[in-house]
């Protein structure tokens, strides 16, 4: 039998043990039940960390389903050291990756424990190769970030725009539709052990990211590439500061192609496109705006196509103001005035119907307001105020001065004529793709009639006449009919309030095929040189674009009738067999008198266009075989740097040489007397009007002996004098 004190000791130990277990259980219950949720969050914070998982942007498609903006990923390096020791050792690792000294990296980044820091976005492949998984222990990690890739390179980039390093749109469609393209970010987790060392850096999705909505554009990327190439070629050929072009489907207003080309001064092709000048840039349209004036006059029923107007023989005086035409026309019909782009006739017609009527028609065509095509960078243009008109300001407005437009607005105006008088809102976004990749939220066109059928038909006939007989007949021959209007506008000088005399905007707008209209558009060149006329600069680019569109879409059209048949009623075979043809001389760079003299020697007539004193080009072009007694059109300009072949003066007397040099507008120096035995530059050498001819004369030397006996010596003298 155990003693009493032993039983008491056992009882006390039992009670103490029960109390200990009770306390432990109570504490456990408190931690698990009462404080459980709070402690769980603390524990997760210690071994888990949530980071944002970017959503993929929606893709962008053209109207044919081609992907023009897609997503790719790139590796980026970031630091998240847990301790000061990790931060110190991270600098050595970074030195091996980036090939910089640890001291320089310390000054640049200043890493701190448990602080996120981007080291480099978009690691180069060689830098990525120098990274290894062990560097995670020093807090250096790689993240694959989404970014944009444009499979067609620079084609259409002014439309698409670009995204920044954070994949946020900064211009173009990427910016305008950023809210639909970005999607919803997800959440991902990285895990650490009890000591805080990361053992899982692979991002484990907690909440899946939702991709952005994909967009379908109206742009046809094949046509976009055609327009960009032809526009760039025209800018280069005519040494223009830049150019713009827009083409729309005139049946519903969808934009098929929109391009600009403004070469950067430093030649850097990687500069990001900030805006599409075809919808954001404004310019004074010049004669292409005469389309609106003609529409207003016809809509008022006060003017008929065959009404006669006096074109003042090329100069119209209105008080202290003057308005001039390149063609010195007399009494001319409204139709011919439009076809030959008479400023005076269109100005007189505008004064007859009043400036407010022309302004009202301009507003009906959509000028002075945004088209709301889908780019918020669009300009609305500038129109004059109603009621503030004089004879001169009305005439100036009628020919496209004192008004500013965008290229898209002008293309929309030409589409009105091609569609028979209906105005369609131009649009760039056809719709969006749903989860089944079906196009939803489609744009619905709502055409509005702004001019009647009769007015549209007359204007269409006028525009065809521009190409067949007027200021764009140089575009002939054509595989199919094009209706258009040329424009050559002096650029405003904002510092003086007037206009530059030597800076122009050349344009050509219209639609095609004229017999069954499908596409309307315009090409604009900024300061083309040395020729500034829209029909000769922008016109050929428009023609090339039209022909390539036709080839791409396989237009099934009858060939355009040969306009020369009217001049040869007996048929081409009889005409060709009877007409004597001559080789057209190159009169480029000559004065009016010089060109007229040279062409008269060939039995050709001459017609001059332009207000300059030098021939810039001819229509037909030099070296063409043309019918004897036919008319050659000489385009005049003011380019003093225009090069032309030096005339052949060998064997001529002083009097004969002076007569020829005066026709070229050339100064000269002379040595000796008699006939010319040597000239510098030599005959056929390219020279400018600013250069002088050096003439060497000698007595008693015939022209035949000169050709045989002086060739070797003259070469020697030329070499010596040069």
Shared domain for 190 and 316, answered yes or no, is no
Angstrom distance (rounded) from CA 216 to CA 481: 32
CATH number at residue 201: 3.90.1310.10
CATH number at residue 669: 3.30.10.20
- Do the domain assignments include residue 44? no
Distances (CA, A) of 401 to 150, 357, 413: 40, 16, 17
What range does the domain containing 21 cover? 4-34
Nearest residue to 283 via CA among 382, 144, 378, 212:
382
Supply the pLDDT for residue 568: 42
Shared domain for 491 and 583, answered yes or no, is no
Angstrom distance (rounded) from CA 633 to CA 615: 10
- The contacts of residue 377 (CB under 8 Å, 6+ apart) are 171, 275, 276, 279, 280
Shared domain for 203 and 226, answered yes or no, is no
Supply the pLDDT for residue 574: 37
Distances (CA, A) of 569 to 133, 558, 575, 582: 87, 21, 8, 21
Angstrom distance (rounded) from CA 410 to CA 399: 14
Supply the pLDDT for residue 570: 38
Tally the residues of the chain: 722
CATH number at residue 315: 3.40.710.10
Distances (CA, A) of 539 to 6, 494, 522, 536: 121, 28, 9, 6
- Do the domain assignments include residue 270? no
Shared domain for 480 and 619, answered yes or no, is no
Supply the pLDDT for residue 709: 39
Supply the pLDDT for residue 401: 94
DSSP 8-state secondary structure symbol assigned to residue 701: -
Angstrom distance (rounded) from CA 66 to CA 395: 48
Shared domain for 284 and 414, answered yes or no, is yes
Q: What is the pTM of this model?
A: 0.73
Shared domain for 410 and 528, answered yes or no, is yes
Distances (CA, A) of 420 to 255, 459, 515, 519, 550: 19, 10, 12, 13, 21
Boundary (domain end) residue, out of 588, 612, 637: 637
Phi, psi of 463 (to 5 degrees): -65, -35
Shared domain for 418 and 464, answered yes or no, is yes
Helix (H) or strand (E) holding 38: helix 36-47
Shared domain for 567 and 549, answered yes or no, is no
Boundary (domain end) residue, out of 519, 553, 587: 553
- Do the domain assignments include residue 445? no
Supply the pLDDT for residue 271: 56
- Do the domain assignments include residue 439? no
Number of domains present in the structure of the chain: 5
- Do the domain assignments include residue 658? yes
- Do the domain assignments include residue 706? yes
Shared domain for 360 and 494, answered yes or no, is yes
Q: Which residues of the chain have pLDDT under 70?
A: 1-2, 4, 31, 39, 41-52, 188-206, 265-273, 556-579, 610-611, 638-643, 663, 700-722
- Do the domain assignments include residue 372? yes
- Do the domain assignments include residue 87? yes
Supply the pLDDT for residue 422: 96
Shared domain for 102 and 23, answered yes or no, is no
Supply the pLDDT for residue 592: 83
Shared domain for 25 and 83, answered yes or no, is no
Number of CB atoms found within 10 A of residue 35's CB: 11
Boundary (domain end) residue, out of 498, 533, 553: 553
Shared domain for 310 and 298, answered yes or no, is yes
Cβ atoms of 279 and 406 closer than 8 Å: yes
Phi, psi of 637 (to 5 degrees): -150, -175
């Amino acid at each position: 039998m155990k003693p009493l004190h032993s039983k008491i000791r056992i009882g006390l130990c039992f009670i103490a043990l029960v109390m200990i277990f009770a306390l432990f259980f109570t504490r456990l219950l408190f931690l698990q039940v009462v404080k459980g949720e709070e402690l769980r969050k603390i524990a997760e914070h210690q071994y888990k960390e949530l980071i944002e998982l970017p959503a993929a942007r929606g893709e962008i498609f053209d109207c044919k389903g081609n992907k023009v903006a897609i997503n790719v990923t790139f590796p980026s390096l970031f630091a998240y050291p847990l301790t000061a020791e990790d931060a110190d050792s991270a600098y050595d690792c970074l030195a091996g990756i980036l090939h910089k000294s640890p001291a320089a990296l310390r000054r640049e980044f200043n890493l701190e424990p448990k602080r996120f820091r981007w080291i480099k976005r978009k690691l180069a492949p060689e830098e990525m190769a120098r990274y290894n998984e062990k560097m995670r222990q020093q807090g250096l990690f790689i993240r694959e970030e989404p970014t944009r890739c444009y499979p067609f390179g620079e084609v259409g980039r002014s439309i698409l725009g670009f995204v920044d390093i954070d994949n946020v749109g900064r211009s173009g469609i990427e910016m305008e539709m950023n809210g639909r393209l970005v999607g919803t970010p997800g959440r991902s987790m990285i895990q650490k052990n009890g000591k805080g060392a990361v053992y899982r850096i692979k991002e484990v999705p907690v909440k899946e990211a939702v991709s952005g909505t994909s967009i379908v554009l109206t742009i046809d990327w094949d046509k976009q590439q055609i327009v960009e190439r032809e526009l760039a070629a025209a800018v280069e050929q005519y040494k223009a500061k830049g150019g713009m072009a827009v083409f729309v489907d005139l049946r519903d207003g969808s934009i098929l192609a929109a391009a600009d080309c403004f070469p950067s001064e430093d030649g850097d092709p990687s500069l990001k496109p900030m805006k599409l000048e075809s919808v954001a840039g404004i310019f004074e349209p010049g004669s292409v705006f005469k389309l609106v004036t003609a529409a207003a006059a016809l809509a008022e029923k006060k003017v008929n196509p065959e009404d006669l107007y006096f074109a003042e023989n090329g100069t119209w005086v209105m008080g202290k103001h003057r308005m001039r035409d390149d063609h010195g026309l007399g009494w001319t019909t409204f139709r011919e005035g439009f076809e030959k782009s008479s400023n005076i006739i269109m100005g007189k017609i505008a004064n007859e119907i009043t400036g407010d009527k022309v302004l009202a028609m301009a507003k009906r065509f959509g000028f002075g307001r945004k088209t709301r095509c889908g780019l918020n960078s669009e300009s609305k243009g500038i129109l004059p105020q109603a009621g503030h008109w004089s004879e001169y300001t009305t005439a100036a407005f009628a020919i496209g001065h004192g008004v500013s437009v965008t290229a898209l607005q002008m293309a929309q105006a030409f589409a009105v004529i091609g569609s028979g008088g209906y105005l369609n809102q131009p649009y760039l976004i056809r719709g969006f793709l749903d989860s089944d990749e079906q196009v939803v939220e489609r744009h619905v066109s709502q055409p509005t009639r702004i001019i009647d059928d009769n007015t549209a038909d007359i204007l269409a006939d006028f525009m065809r006449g521009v190409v067949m007989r007027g200021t764009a007949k140089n575009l002939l021959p054509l595989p199919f009919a094009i209706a258009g209007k040329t424009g050559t506008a002096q650029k405003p000088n904002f510092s003086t309030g007037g206009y530059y005399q030597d800076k122009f905007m050349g344009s050509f707008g219209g639609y095609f095929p004229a017999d069954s209209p499908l596409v309307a558009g315009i090409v604009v060149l900024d300061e083309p040189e040395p020729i500034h006329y829209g029909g000769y600069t922008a016109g050929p680019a428009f023609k090339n674009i039209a022909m390539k569109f036709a080839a791409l879409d396989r237009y099934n059209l009858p060939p355009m009738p040969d306009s020369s048949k009217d001049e040869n009623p007996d048929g081409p075979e009889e005409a060709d067999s009877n007409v004597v043809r001559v080789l057209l001389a190159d009169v480029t760079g000559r004065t009016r008198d010089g060109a007229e003299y040279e062409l008269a020697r060939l039995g050709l007539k001459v017609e001059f266009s332009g207000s300059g004193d030098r021939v810039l080009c001819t229509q037909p072009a030099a070296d063409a075989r043309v019918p004897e007694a036919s008319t050659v059109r000489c385009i005049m300009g003011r380019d003093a740097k225009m090069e032309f072949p030096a005339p052949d003066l060998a064997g001529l007397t002083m009097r004969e040489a002076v007569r020829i040099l005066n026709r070229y507008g050339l100064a000269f120096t002379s040595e000796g007397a008699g006939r010319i035995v040597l000239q510098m530059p030599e005959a056929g050498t390219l020279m400018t009007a600013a250069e002088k001819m050096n003439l060497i004369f000698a007595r008693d030397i015939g022209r035949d002996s000169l050709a045989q006996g002086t060739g070797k010596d003259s070469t020697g003298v030329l070499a010596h004098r040069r």
